[in-house]
Amino acid sequence: MTLWQSPAYQTPVQQVNPGDSFTINQAYFSYDSGLWFDIGADQWIPAYYLDNTLMPNN
């Protein structure tokens, strides 16, 4: 899976493995690119990559 510098699919910044976990800092939505999550350090992941069992970080 690819992490992107912004929710615009313009600059890939890193590859991650399925099953890796992340802390979500913020969410972004647009009708053009859909729902994205910021996991820090200018790394964004599209929501469709994520498992649908998001859990709060206690």
pLDDT digits (tens, 9 = 90+) for 34-51: 999 999 998 999 998 876
Q: What is the C-alpha to C-alpha distance for residues 58 and 43, in angstroms, rounded to an integer? A: 22
12-23: string of b/e by CB count within 10 Å (b at 16+)?
eeeeeeeeeeee
pTM of the complete model beyond 0.75: yes
* Mean pLDDT over each residue of the chain, to the nearest integer: 87
- Tokens representing 25? 């800092």
Residues in the chain: 58
- Tokens representing 22? 């992340």
For residue 28, pLDDT over 90 is answered with: yes
